[in-house]
C-alpha cells in the first residue's frame, strides 16, 4: 500500500457511520442541544445584517432550489442554503467556539445539518443531535490537527468544512470509500484563509465559514457522483487526535460567548466591568484605560470602525460600549448606536499593550489585565482575567436561554422563539417543529 492510500476501513469512517444516539453520553447530547440552540439564535441575530442580506441575495440568485432559507423564506438548493446560513451566522460574532482551534465549528455545521435534512424531516431530535455530534467531533479534531501541522493561522473554514462533510456523508449514507473522498475533497478545496488579515482589516469575509459550509455541501455532491479526492491528510498527519473518537468527547470543550464580538475582546471586557462594579466607578470618572493582553488581541486595534463588521473586531470600541452599557447586545455594535461623541471619547482613552507572558500561554489561555486610572488620581488594576463561557467555566443554560431570547426577539414570532428555546428548556421539539419555527418571521 502506498502511504497516500487510505485503508479499506479506518476509525474515522467507522465513527462517522457507526455512531448511534445510544453510544453518546447524556452530557454530550445536552451540549449538542446547547450548540444547536445557540447557533440558531446567532443565525437569527445575524440574519438582518448587511453580510446576511448580501449572502441570501447571492444564494437566491445563484443557487435556486426547494429549501426555504431560515429568517428569509426564499428557496435555494442545499449548497446555497449552507453558504447563506453560515455567512449569516458568521456575520454576528456571537457563535460558539473551541479554545485551541481558535475558531468555530457549529457555524458551518448547523447550516449544513439543516440543508441535509431537506424539506421533509422525519428523523428524531436524538438522531439529529447524533449527526451534529459527528460533525463536531470531526471538525474540532481537524482544527487541532491542522493547527499542529500547518505553519499559518488559518480561518475556521479550513477545517469546519471537513467536519461538515463528515456529517453530511453520514446523513446521506455514503459508502466508506465515498466518505473518504468527500473528506478529501472538502479538505483540498476548503478556504485556508489568512485569519489575521481579517483581524487587521475587518470586513465581511470573517472566518470564511461561509465557504467552509459551501465547500462541504459541494464536496458531498461531488463524492456522491464519483468525483475523487486526495486522502485528507488532516485526518492522518496528527494521529493522536483521532485515536480516541467515541471515547473522549471534544464537543464538551466548546465555549460560548456572552457578547457578539471577537472572543479576544472578552477578557478585557470582563476585567473592566469587574473593576467598575467592585470600585463603583462611573464612566465619567475614567481618565484612561490600559489593556495588557496577548499579542494577537492587540491587533484588534481599529479605532474608528465604520460598520458592524469592523466594530466586532475593534477591541477599543467593544470595551467602550461594554463599559457604557454594562454589556454588549447585537444592536450595540451598529453605527446608529455606537457612533456618539460619548463612545468615541472613551475609545480615545483606551490603550492596548502586549504582555509577553500572556502571549506565551495563548491560545490555551486568553487573558487580559486592565488598569483604570480615574480623574481623582486612583489607579485600579485587575488581575489577569479570562472570558466567561469557557468550557471549564461555562455559561449556564439560563444564560444561554436569555441570550437566545435577546437575539431572536426582533426576528421570530413569540411562539417560534419558544420552540427554539425548548431545545434547552423542554419539552424538546422535533426537527420538523424546529425547522417550521425557523421559517416563521415577525
Domain ranges across the chain: 11-257+410-438, 263-381
pLDDT of 66 reads 95
pLDDT of 152 reads 84
pLDDT of 167 reads 98
Counting residues of the chain whose pLDDT is more than 90, the rounded percentage is 93
**DSSP codes, 191-208:** ---BHHHHHHS--TTTTS
pTM for the model stands at: 0.95
| pLDDT at 432 exceeding the cut of 50 | yes
Helix, strand or coil for residue 354?
A: strand
| pLDDT at 1 exceeding the cut of 60 | no
| pLDDT at 78 exceeding the cut of 80 | yes
Nearby residues of 435 by Cβ (< 8 Å), 6 or more positions away? 70, 114, 117, 121
pLDDT of 438 reads 95
| pLDDT at 441 exceeding the cut of 50 | yes
Report the CATH number of the 263-381 domain.
3.30.1330.120
Nearby residues of 96 by Cβ (< 8 Å), 6 or more positions away? 34, 35, 38, 39, 104, 105, 106, 107, 254, 255, 256, 257
pLDDT of 140 reads 98
Angle at 409 between CA 408 and CA 411, to 5 degrees: 60
For residue range 292-321, list pLDDT tens digits in order.
999 999 999 999 999 999 999 999 999 999
- Report CA torsion sign: 254, 256, 261, 267: negative
Calculate mean pLDDT across residues 364-378.
97
Q: Between helices 209-224 and 106-117, what is the axis angle to 10°?
A: 40
The band of 150, judged by pLDDT with boundaries at 50, 70 and 90, is: confident
**297/265 Cα distance (integer angstroms):** 7
Calculate mean pLDDT across residues 367-372.
98
| pLDDT at 340 exceeding the cut of 70 | yes
Of residues 65, 63, 130, 56, the one with CA closest to residue 89 = 56
pLDDT of 235 reads 85
Please report which helix (H) or strand (E) contains residue 372, including its range.
strand 368-374
Determine how β-strand 64-68 pairs with β-strand 75-76: antiparallel
* Edge-to-edge strand ranges of the sheet holding 379-381: 350-354, 286-293, 368-374, 379-381
The band of 290, judged by pLDDT with boundaries at 50, 70 and 90, is: very high
Nearby residues of 243 by Cβ (< 8 Å), 6 or more positions away? 11
Calculate mean pLDDT across residues 260-286.
98
CATH architecture of the domain with range 11-257+410-438: Orthogonal Bundle (1.10)
Higher-pLDDT residue of 151, 423: 423
| pLDDT at 414 exceeding the cut of 90 | yes
Amino acid at each position: 500500500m502506498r502511504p497516500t492510500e487510505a485503508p479499506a476501513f479506518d476509525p474515522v469512517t467507522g465513527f462517522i457511520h457507526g455512531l448511534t444516539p445510544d453510544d453518546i453520553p447524556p452530557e454530550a447530547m445536552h451540549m449538542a442541544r446547547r450548540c444547536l440552540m445557540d447557533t440558531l439564535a446567532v443565525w437569527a441575530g445575524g440574519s438582518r445584517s448587511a453580510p446576511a442580506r448580501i449572502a441570501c441575495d447571492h444564494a437566491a440568485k445563484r443557487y435556486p432550489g426547494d429549501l426555504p432559507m431560515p429568517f428569509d423564506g426564499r428557496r435555494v438548493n442545499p449548497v446555497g442554503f449552507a453558504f447563506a446560513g453560515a455567512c449569516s451566522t458568521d456575520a454576528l460574532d456571537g457563535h460558539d467556539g473551541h479554545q485551541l482551534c481558535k475558531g468555530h465549528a457549529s457555524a458551518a455545521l448547523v447550516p449544513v445539518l439543516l440543508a441535509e435534512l431537506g424539506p421533509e424531516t422525519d428523523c428524531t431530535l436524538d438522531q439529529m443531535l447524533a449527526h451534529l455530534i459527528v460533525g463536531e467531533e470531526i471538525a474540532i479534531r481537524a482544527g487541532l490537527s491542522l493547527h499542529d501541522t500547518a505553519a499559518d493561522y488559518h480561518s475556521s473554514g479550513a477545517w469546519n468544512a471537513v467536519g461538515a462533510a463528515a456529517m453530511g456523508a453520514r446523513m446521506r449514507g455514503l459508502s466508506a470509500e465515498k466518505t473518504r473522498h468527500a473528506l478529501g475533497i472538502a479538505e483540498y478545496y476548503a478556504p485556508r484563509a489568512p485569519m489575521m488579515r481579517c483581524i487587521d482589516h475587518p470586513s465581511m469575509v470573517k472566518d470564511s465559514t461561509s465557504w467552509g459550509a459551501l465547500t462541504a455541501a459541494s464536496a458531498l455532491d461531488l463524492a456522491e457522483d464519483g468525483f475523487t479526492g486526495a486522502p485528507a491528510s488532516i485526518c492522518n498527519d496528527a494521529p493522536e487526535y483521532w485515536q480516541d473518537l467515541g471515547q473522549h468527547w471534544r464537543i464538551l470543550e466548546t465555549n460560548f460567548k456572552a457578547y457578539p464580538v471577537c472572543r479576544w475582546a472578552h477578557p478585557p471586557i470582563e476585567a473592566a466591568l469587574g473593576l467598575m462594579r467592585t470600585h463603583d466607578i462611573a464612566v465619567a470618572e475614567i481618565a484612561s484605560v490600559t489593556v495588557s493582553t496577548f499579542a494577537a488581541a492587540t491587533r484588534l486595534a481599529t479605532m474608528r470602525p465604520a460598520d458592524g463588521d469592523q466594530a466586532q473586531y475593534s477591541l477599543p470600541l467593544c470595551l467602550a460600549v461594554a463599559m457604557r452599557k454594562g454589556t454588549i447586545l447585537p444592536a450595540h455594535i451598529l453605527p446608529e448606536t455606537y457612533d456618539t461623541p460619548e463612545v468615541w471619547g472613551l475609545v480615545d482613552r483606551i490603550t492596548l499593550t502586549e504582555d509577553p507572558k500572556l502571549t506565551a500561554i495563548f491560545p490555551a489561555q486568553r487573558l487580559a489585565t486592565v488598569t483604570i486610572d480615574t480623574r481623582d488620581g486612583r489607579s485600579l488594576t485587575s488581575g489577569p482575567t479570562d472570558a466567561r463561557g469557557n468550557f471549564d467555566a461555562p455559561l449556564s443554560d439560563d444564560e444561554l436561554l436569555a441570550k437566545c431570547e435577546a437575539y431572536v426577539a426582533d426576528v421570530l414570532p413569540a411562539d417560534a422563539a419558544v420552540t427554539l428555546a425548548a431545545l434547552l428548556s423542554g419539552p424538546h421539539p422535533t426537527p420538523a417543529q424546529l425547522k417550521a419555527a425557523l421559517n416563521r418571521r415577525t
